[in-house]
Amino acid sequence: MPDYVADKIKPVWKLPFEGAWPVAVSFADSSSRVIAANQDGVMVQWQLPETPVAAKVKDENGKEIDGFETPLPTRQLIGHANTVTQIVPSANGQILFSASYDRTVFAWDLNATPSSESELVVDRDTRERAAKRVEAKKRPEILDAPGVKLASIAPVNTLTGHKDWINALDLSRSGDRLISGDDSGLVIVWDAKTRQKISSWQCPGVAWIVAAALSPDGQTAVISQYRRKGGDFNNYPAGLRIFKVADGSVLLDVLATLYPKEKNPPYQYQYAYHEFVADGLVALAFSPDGKLLAAGQGGEGGGGKIHFLETETGKVVRSVTGHKYGVTDLLFTADGKYLFSAGRDTRFRITRVEDGGEVAVIGKERGGQFTDWLASIALSPDERRLAAADISGFVQVWDLG
Amino acid sequence: MNPDCPLEEHVSRRALLKGVLATSSGATVANWGGLFASPARAEEVKQNQKRCILLWMNGGASQFETFDMKIGRPNGGPFRPISTNVASTQVCELLPKISQQMDKLTVIRSMHTSQIDHPQGIHLMHTAYSEAANIRFPEFGAVIAKSLGHVGSSLPNFIKIGSNGDSGSGFLGPKYQPFTMSHDGRLPTFAQSSLAPGIESRRNELRQFVEDQYAVKHHVETAKMHREAYERARRLQSALKTFKIDDEWAKYESLYGDSFFGRNCLLARQLVEAGVPFVEIGHSGYDTHADNFTGHKGLLPPMDQGWAGLLTDLHERGLLANTLVVWMGEIGRTPQINNRAGRDHYVRAWSTALAGGGVKGGYVHGATDQDGRDVTSGEVKEGDFFATIYQALGINPSTEHFAGSRPVPIAPFGSKVVRDLLV
Amino acid sequence: MDHSHRALTWLALLAAFITVLPPLARAGDPPLRNVIDTEIAKVWSREKIQSAGPCDDATFLRRVSLDLCGLIPTHDEAKAFLDDSATDKRAKLIERLLDHARYGVHQSDEWDMVFFGRKPPGYEAPHREGFKRWLRDSFAQNTHFDQLARAMLKAEGNTAEQGAAMYLVQYDRHPDDAAIAVSQTFLGVQLQCAHCHDHPYEPWTQRDFYGMAAFFARLQMVKAGKTKVDDKELEKIYLAELNTGDVKFTGSAKDAKPGQKGEPVKPKFLLASDLEEPDLTAEFKDEKRIPDGSPPPAPKFSRKDKLAEWVTSPQNPYFARAVANRLWAQFMGRGLVHPIDNMSASNKPSHPELLDAIAQELIAHQFDVKWLIRELVSSQTYQLASTGEVADAKPQWFERARTRPLSAEELLESWRVATNFEVVARRKPEEHKGRFYGVTFDYIRNYFGEPNNGVGDFQGGLHEHLYLNNGELGRLMTSEKDGLIDQLLTSTEPWESRVERIYLAVLSRLPNAAERAKFADYCDVQGKDSQQTRLQEAIWVLMTCSEFRFNH
C-alpha cells in the first residue's frame, strides 16, 4: 500500500443529500459505489465514475470554479424509519448492513432487482434558499420541481431483536460475524451469511451501547457504553469492556482496570470521565491484527482524544489529540499502518499508528464557535477514496492520492 | 367536616400554636398529629390541607421531546410519540410511565414567558416577577409556605431538595426561608446537633432559665418569636426522621426508580404527608445546547419514573386531590436544531404540566403552530401561570405582601387565572 | 401640561406636609434633645400613656455602644462605666463613642444596607469595596449628609478609587430603578406605582415617574482599568453622561401595544417644574457610546448634576424631612413617619411638629449627621427603658425604647468581644486580623443578614437557630491565653465572682442573685476539662439568648 501524503489528498465531489442530516456513509464493492443515509432514515446509493468528469462547479460563495460533474444518486434503499447510525459492507461488498434508531438492522443486496421507482429531492435546502430570492408566486415552481428518479430496493433481511436505538454495528475483518448493540444494553452477534443470532447478552448498568467492534476473528467483542449523565444517577453511566462472544462473559473491564474502584469511592468513574471517557467513547476500531484497539471520545466536552489500547491488557499505549471537538468515526487501514478519524470539527485526520504521528489533517472547520460535523467516514476497498457524511447536506468524496 | 368550610375555621391559628406548644417538650410528630385529640381528626385535616410539590427541570426541558411533539416536521427530532391513557393525547416515548398518568395531568402547551436566560428565567419562574434592583421578590414556595404553612410546625414549611433559584423568601423574611437539602438527600449544614443528648438537655435547661429571666421584664413580641424559633429548631431535631427514606426505600424503589430524583420524589411525598406545604425537587442537565436528543434520552426516563411514581403514590394515599404537582423549568427550547444537535433557549412557546390538587386530569391547554414557533391558542404568560397555581391552591392570586411599604401582589398585576384547566 | 394647576398641587402638598413651620434655630433656643423630649411627652399626656422610665446604666451602655459603634462594651469597659460615679458619665460616653474609630465602620455598615441592601442584585454591586471605604471615611470625617448624597448622585470619580459612583452604577441601564431608589432613599417617596399607572391615591402621575427617570436616561458605564482596594482587584467604573438620549413613555401599561415606540419624556423634578436644559440634539447628532479604557469626558450639560443639586438643596421639600426621619428611625426604632420611606400626604407623621423641628434644625446645622445623632442619643426619649407590658418592639408613641435585632456584623463582632476572642486574634498572623475572623462570615451573613420581613419586623428564622445550636460558636470559646475561658479557668476567685465576669463580658451587666447562683452551680464541677465544658455551655447560653440577640 502506498503511504498517504497530505498535499496529494484532493476533494472530488460534494454529493448533495440535503434535508435531514446525512450521518452514515459507506462504500460497497468498489470505489465507484457509495451509499449514505440520513437522520430520517433515507438511504441512497451513488454510482461514481472511475475518473471524474471535469466541469465548472459553484463554490461556497456561488462563484464558478473548475471542478467535476456532480453525480446524482441512482438508487434508494427503502426501509428505515428513523436515523440510520451505521452502514457496514459485507466482505465482498455485495451486501450492506445498516442499523437505525428504528431498532432494526437491515441486510441489503445491492444487486437485487429494483422493486419500484421512487422520487427524492436531494437539494431541498438549495431550493428553499432560491425560493426566498424570488417573488412568492414563483416559489412553488422551485420548491415543487420534480426530484431525482430512483430505482428502489427493499432489504433482503430484517435482523430483529433490538429494543432501543441501535448505535453500534460492526463486521469482523474475517467477514463472518456481525455485532449490533442498542441503548438498552443488549448486544447481539449475528452470522453475517445466514443472518442468524450466534449469541446475545445484556451489558451491565443503565448506560447505552454507543459503539461496538469485533476482533478480526470475531471471537471477542469490545463494547463501549455511555449515558449522558444527568448529574444524579446512582448507576455508573459508562463502560468499556471486552467480552467473549461465545457466552457474553467479560474478559476485561478496561475502565475498572484503568481506574480501580477502590481509589475514589463512591464516584468511581469520576476520573475516568475527565480523562478517559469524556462525553463517551463513541467510536471503536480493532487494528487488523487484533492487537490494538482505538477508541475515540465523542460529544463535545472531551477534546476528541483517540486512545490506543492493548487489547490483551487494556493498557493505554497512547492518546492522540487533534480533533477540536468530539470524534465521530474511526477506521484502520487494512495494513494497520494508519488510522482515519472524523470529527465534529468538519475534518478528517490520518494518524500513523506506529507512533501516533499526524500524517494529514483534511478539511476546513465550518460553522461558528461550534463547527459542523463529519458524522461518519468510509474508505473505498482500494483505500484510495474516502467518503464523508457532512451534516450540512452532502457527502464529501476525496481522492487520497 | 363540612367540605365547604375552610380549615382555618375549624383549627384556628391559636389552636395550632397551642397544639404544638403542648407537644414541644416531648417527642413531636411532624406537622400534624400532636395538634389533634384524635388521629381521625388529624387525618381529616391532613386530607384537606392543600400543598404543592414543584418538580424543577433546571436548564429548561424541551417541549418537543416531552409534551408538544412535531412529528414529521423538519426539526421534529428522532423521538416518536406514544399513546397515553387518555384517548387522542400522545406524549413522547421518553415518558412511558407518565403516559399512563396522563389522566391526572394538565399539560400547558402554550407558555409564553419573558426571560430567556437561566438566572433571569430561574428568578422569573420561581417568583412570577423579573428581577429588579430595588426589591427582592419571594419564591412562590415562600408565598405558599406563608399562606398554607403552620406557625407551630416542627418541619419547615418550604423545603428545597437539590434545586435552583436563590431568591428564597425575599422580602417575606427569614421565617419563610427554604430549608435546603442537596440532591443526594443531605440535610443542610448545621441541621443536626452533634452534642450528646445529655449535654444538649442540660445546656437547654440553663438556656431556658436565662430566657425566663429576660421574659420577666421584656414582653416584646420580637423576643417571643426568637424563643419560638429556637423551639422550632429543637423540635426539628426530633422530626429529622421525616427526612429519612432509607427504611422505606426497598419497598418503593421499583415505583420511583433508582435515581436521586426518584428518591427525592419519595421524600417529597413523605414530607407533604407530614404536612409540609411546599417541597421543591430539582433535576438538572436540561440545558442541551449540544446533543439535545441524547441529553433528553438520558435525563427523562428516571425523571419520568420518579414523577409517575409520585403521582401514583399520592393518588393511592388519597393525597393527590389536595396536592398540586407542578412540572416546569425556567425556559423551553428552540424549534430549530443547531449544528451541535442541540436546541437553544426559547420562551415564545413552551410547555409545563400540572397535576393533582385543583386542576383537571387528562387535559391539554393551548396549542402551538406546526413547527412550535408560536402559540396559536390559549396563551399563558408567567403571571397567568402563577395566578392559576395560587388559585388551584385556594390562595387568592391578588393577595398582596409588603416589601417595605410597597404592596406586591403574589401574581403580578393584571395576571389572569387560566380557569379552563381548573376543576 | 397645565403648569398653574401643577403648581397649585405642589403648594397644597407642601401645606399638607408642613403644618406648623417652626422658626429656624437660633442661639438660646433649647437644644434639640429637649425639644424631642417635650414633644414626645406632650403626646404621652394626650394619649394618656405611661412611659417606661429611664433605663439603667448597664442597659444604656450596651445600647449606645451598639448603636454608635456596632459592638458591645468589653468586660473592663462595662465594669469601669458601672463603677464610675460621675453624673455626666453618659454624656462623656456619648462623646467617646462618637469619636471612636468604630463609629465610621458601624454607621457605614448601617447605611450600606440602605443604599444597597444585603444581597444587592444590581450591576457590579457585590464588588463595592470602593464604595464601602468611601462611606466609612465619610462617616468617620462626619461628612454632612447633603454632601454625602450629592457625591452619590453626582457620581464623580470611579467606583474603585473614589467609590461614591457605585451607588448609581448599580442601576446601570435601568433609569426607572434609579428613579424609584433615589425617590425612596433621599426623598422618602414611593414612586414605583406610577411606573405603570397614575398613582391611585397620591398626587404623582406616570409623567412624574418618567420625569424623574429622565434624569438618569443618559448615563452610561465606562470601564477604565483595574486597581486594588483592600487587597481586592476592582474594576474602575465611571458613570459617564451623554448629551442626548431620552426615556420613552408609552402611556398606561395596560394599554401598551407591541411595537409601540413611545414619546420621549423630558426631566421633571418630582411634583415641581420641568428641568430647563439646552437642546443639544443638533450639536450631538448621532452621538456614540463612550468607549471603555479611559475616564469619560463631562457632558456639556449634566442632568444628573441638576438633580443632585435639587435633591440636596435646603429648599427641597422632601430631603431634610426624609433624612431626619431615617436617622430618627435608626435610633428610635421606627420613623416619625412609618414606614420611613412612605412620606406621603396620606401617611401622616406621628409627631408632625417634632419632625418639622428636626428637619428645620438639620437644615440649620447644614445636615450635620454627628450633631443630630448626639442630640438623639442624649435625649431622655432614647434613654428610656425597654421593659414593660407593651409587646410592640417598635412602640408608636416612643414611650419605651425599641428592641431591635443585632445585625450580622454586630452579632459576630460582639461575640468576638464577649469571648475576648478579639484579643486572642490580635496575636494571630496578619491574614487573621480581619473584623470577622473566627467563624465563617458567609454563614453569619446568610443566617443573620436579614432578620426582618419586608416591613422591617423581626422574624424568628429556623436557620439562625440551627446555626446557633449546631454551628461554629465553639471556635470563639477558645481556651487560648487571654480568652474569656482562659481567664475564668485560671482565676482563683469564687465561682460567684467568676459568674460576674461572665455576665459583664457577655451581657454587659451584673447578674442578679438567682443568675449568680444558677450559673455558679452550673460551672462548679470537678476537673479543668469538665469546668471548661461547662463554661463553654454557659457562655454559649448567654451568647444565643434573646438578651444578646437584641439591642434593647
**A177, exposed or middle or buried, with CB in 10 Å at 0-12, 13-18, 19+?**
buried
Kindly state whether A372 is in contact with chain B, defined as any CB-CB distance less than 8 angstroms.
yes
CB atoms A228 and B297 under 8 Å: yes
Least confident of A266-270, A396-400, C424-428, C537-541: A266-270
Parent domain of B131 = 51-192+242-421
Provide the pairing of β-strand B345-346 with B332-333. Answer: antiparallel
The dihedral sign for the CA sequence C179, C180, C186, C189: positive
**Residue C257 CB contacts under 8 Å (≥ 6 apart), including other chains:** none
CB atoms A232 and B78 under 8 Å: no
A27 Cα to chain B: minimum distance (Å):
25
Q: Residue A44 corresponds to which amino acid?
A: V
C419 Cα to chain B: minimum distance (Å):
18
- Tell me if B47 sits within 8 A of B273, measured CB to CB: no
Chain B residues near residue C515 by CB distance under 8 angstroms:
210, 213
B390 Cα to chain C: minimum distance (Å):
21
Kindly state whether B298 is in contact with chain A, defined as any CB-CB distance less than 8 angstroms.
yes
Kindly state whether B336 is in contact with chain A, defined as any CB-CB distance less than 8 angstroms.
no
CB atoms B302 and A230 under 8 Å: yes
Instruction: Let me know whether B64 and B187 are in one domain.
Output: yes
Alpha-carbon gap, residue B206 to B208, rounded angstroms = 5
Alpha-carbon gap, residue C153 to C145, rounded angstroms = 12
* Residue among A39, A228, A391 minimizing CB distance to B295: A228
CB atoms B80 and A82 under 8 Å: yes
Q: Residue C485 corresponds to which amino acid?
A: I
User: For residue B380, what is the domain's CATH number?
Assistant: 3.40.720.10
* Residue among B184, B258, B298 minimizing CB distance to A229: B298
- Tell me if C545 sits within 8 A of C506, measured CB to CB: no
Kindly state whether B199 is in contact with chain C, defined as any CB-CB distance less than 8 angstroms.
yes
Can you name the residues that pair with B353 across neighbouring β-strands? B107, B327
Higher-confidence residue: A63 or C1? A63
Global pTM?
A: 0.86
Alpha-carbon gap, residue A25 to A111, rounded angstroms = 18
> Does residue C8 register a pLDDT over 50?
no
Alpha-carbon gap, residue B92 to B20, rounded angstroms = 47
Instruction: Let me know whether B27 and B72 are in one domain.
Output: no
Q: Residue B194 — φ and ψ, nearest 5°?
A: -110, 5
pLDDT band at C200 (very low <50, low <70, confident <90, very high): low
Kindly state whether A286 is in contact with chain B, defined as any CB-CB distance less than 8 angstroms.
no
* Residue among A232, A237, A300 minimizing CB distance to B261: A232
Query: Could you tell me the CA-to-CA distances from B34 to B46, B132, B152, C127, C519 in Å, in that order?
Result: 12, 42, 11, 49, 34
Please list the ranges in chain A whose pLDDT falls under 50.
231, 234, 262, 264-268
Q: Is residue B206 included in any domain, yes or no?
A: no
Encode pLDDT of C389-418 as tens digits. Answer: 877 888 889 999 999 999 999 999 999 999
Encode pLDDT of C50-104 as tens digits. Answer: 999 999 999 999 999 999 999 999 999 999 999 999 999 999 999 999 999 999 9
Alpha-carbon gap, residue B166 to B180, rounded angstroms = 10
Instruction: Let me know whether B24 and B147 are in one domain.
Output: no
C340 Cα to chain B: minimum distance (Å):
8
**A334, exposed or middle or buried, with CB in 10 Å at 0-12, 13-18, 19+?**
middle
Chain B residues near residue A371 by CB distance under 8 angstroms:
339
The dihedral sign for the CA sequence C333, C337, C338, C341: negative
- Name the grid cell of C289: 457610546
Q: What is the mean pLDDT of residues B103-128?
A: 96
pLDDT band at B272 (very low <50, low <70, confident <90, very high): very high
Alpha-carbon gap, residue C42 to C354, rounded angstroms = 11
Chain A residues near residue B294 by CB distance under 8 angstroms:
228
- Name the grid cell of A212: 461496538
Kindly state whether B136 is in contact with chain C, defined as any CB-CB distance less than 8 angstroms.
yes
Alpha-carbon gap, residue A125 to A142, rounded angstroms = 11
Q: Residue B67 — φ and ψ, nearest 5°?
A: -115, -5
Instruction: Let me know whether B146 and B14 are in one domain.
Output: no
B150 Cα to chain C: minimum distance (Å):
13
Instruction: Let me know whether B33 and B178 are in one domain.
Output: no
Kindly state whether B416 is in contact with chain C, defined as any CB-CB distance less than 8 angstroms.
no
> Does residue C292 register a pLDDT over 50?
yes
Kindly state whether A228 is in contact with chain B, defined as any CB-CB distance less than 8 angstroms.
yes
Instruction: Let me know whether B6 and B107 are in one domain.
Output: no
Kindly state whether A109 is in contact with chain B, defined as any CB-CB distance less than 8 angstroms.
no
SS3 A394: strand
Beta-carbon neighbour count of residue B152 at 10 Å? 24
Least confident of A40-44, C23-27, C524-528: C23-27
B348 Cα to chain C: minimum distance (Å):
14
Alpha-carbon gap, residue A45 to A120, rounded angstroms = 12
- Can you give the three-state secondary structure of C323-339, one letter per residue? HHHHHHHHHHCCCCCCC
Q: How far apart, in Å, do the first and last CA atoms of chain C sit?
A: 52
Q: What is the mean pLDDT of residues B272-283?
A: 96
**A134, exposed or middle or buried, with CB in 10 Å at 0-12, 13-18, 19+?**
exposed
Closest CA to A267 of A237, A228, A226: A237
Asked if the ipTM is above 0.85, the reply is yes
Can you name the residues that pair with A331 across neighbouring β-strands? A340
Instruction: Let me know whether B35 and B59 are in one domain.
Output: no
Q: Residue C75 — φ and ψ, nearest 5°?
A: -55, -45
DSSP letters for C519-543: HHHHH--SSHHHHHHHHHHHHHHHH
pLDDT band at B34 (very low <50, low <70, confident <90, very high): very low
Backbone angle region of C244, left / alpha / beta, with phi > 0 → left and psi within -120 to 50 → alpha: beta
pLDDT of residue B258: 87
* Residue among C171, C339, C470 minimizing CB distance to B192: C470
Q: Is residue B21 included in any domain, yes or no?
A: yes
* Residue among A228, A233, A370 minimizing CB distance to B340: A370
Give me the helix-helix angle, C495-507 and C75-83, nearest 10°: 100
Chains C and A touch (3+ CB pairs under 8 A): no
CB atoms B405 and C455 under 8 Å: yes
- Tell me if C274 sits within 8 A of C211, measured CB to CB: yes
Chain A residues near residue B291 by CB distance under 8 angstroms:
228, 279, 299-300
Kindly state whether A205 is in contact with chain B, defined as any CB-CB distance less than 8 angstroms.
no
Which residue in chain A is spatially nearest to B285 when comparing CA positions? A230
SS3 C27: coil
* Residue among C443, C461, C469 minimizing CB distance to B193: C469
- Name the grid cell of C2: 397645565
Closest CA to B144 of B181, B114, B166, B172: B172
The dihedral sign for the CA sequence C516, C522, C524, C527: negative
Q: Residue C95 — φ and ψ, nearest 5°?
A: -60, -45
> Does residue B221 register a pLDDT over 90?
no
Q: What is the mean pLDDT of residues B120-140?
A: 92
Kindly state whether B284 is in contact with chain A, defined as any CB-CB distance less than 8 angstroms.
yes
> Does residue C252 register a pLDDT over 90?
no
**Residue B415 CB contacts under 8 Å (≥ 6 apart), including other chains:** B128, B381, B383, B384, B386, B387, B397
Cα within 13 Å of Cα(B58), Cβ side: 18
CB atoms B259 and A183 under 8 Å: no
pLDDT of residue A225: 94
CB atoms B192 and C117 under 8 Å: no
Q: Residue B134 corresponds to which amino acid?
A: N
The domain limits of chain A are 12-158
Least confident of B219-228, C139-148, C190-199, C299-308: C190-199
**Residue C549 CB contacts under 8 Å (≥ 6 apart), including other chains:** B223, B226, C405, C406, C411
> Does residue B45 register a pLDDT over 60?
no
State the virtual CA torsion across B112, B117, B123, B128 in degrees, nearest 10. Answer: -10
Quote the mean pLDDT of chain C: 90
Instruction: Let me know whether B170 and B153 are in one domain.
Output: yes
Alpha-carbon gap, residue A282 to A295, rounded angstroms = 7
pLDDT band at C201 (very low <50, low <70, confident <90, very high): low
Query: What sections of B95-245 are H helices per DSSP?
Result: 96-99, 118-127, 140-148, 197-217, 221-239
**A160, exposed or middle or buried, with CB in 10 Å at 0-12, 13-18, 19+?**
exposed
Chain B residues near residue A80 by CB distance under 8 angstroms:
none
> Does residue B401 register a pLDDT over 50?
yes
Encode pLDDT of C354-375 as tens digits. Answer: 999 999 999 999 999 999 999 9
- Name the grid cell of B251: 419497598
Which residue in chain B is spatially nearest to A41 when comparing CA positions? B78
Kindly state whether B286 is in contact with chain C, defined as any CB-CB distance less than 8 angstroms.
no
Q: Is residue B226 included in any domain, yes or no?
A: no
CB atoms B405 and C546 under 8 Å: no
Q: Is residue B202 included in any domain, yes or no?
A: no
CB atoms A229 and B302 under 8 Å: no
Can you name the residues that pair with A238 across neighbouring β-strands? A226
Closest CA to A17 of A99, A76, A79, A91: A76
> Does residue B3 register a pLDDT over 90?
no
Q: Residue A72 — φ and ψ, nearest 5°?
A: -100, 160
Alpha-carbon gap, residue B18 to B229, rounded angstroms = 15
Taking one residue from B and the other from C, the number of pairs with CB-CB distance under 8 angstroms is: 189
Among A18, A23, A206, A228, the residue to mutate for chain B (most B Cβ within 10 A): A228
**A10, exposed or middle or buried, with CB in 10 Å at 0-12, 13-18, 19+?**
exposed
Taking one residue from A and the other from B, the number of pairs with CB-CB distance under 8 angstroms is: 64
Q: Is residue B82 included in any domain, yes or no?
A: yes
Alpha-carbon gap, residue C237 to C219, rounded angstroms = 12
Beta-carbon neighbour count of residue C510 at 10 Å? 15
Kindly state whether B75 is in contact with chain A, defined as any CB-CB distance less than 8 angstroms.
no
Tally of domains within chain B: 2
Which residue in chain B is spatially nearest to A373 when comparing CA positions? B339
Is the backbone peptide bond immediately before A114 cis, with ω within 30 degrees of 0? no
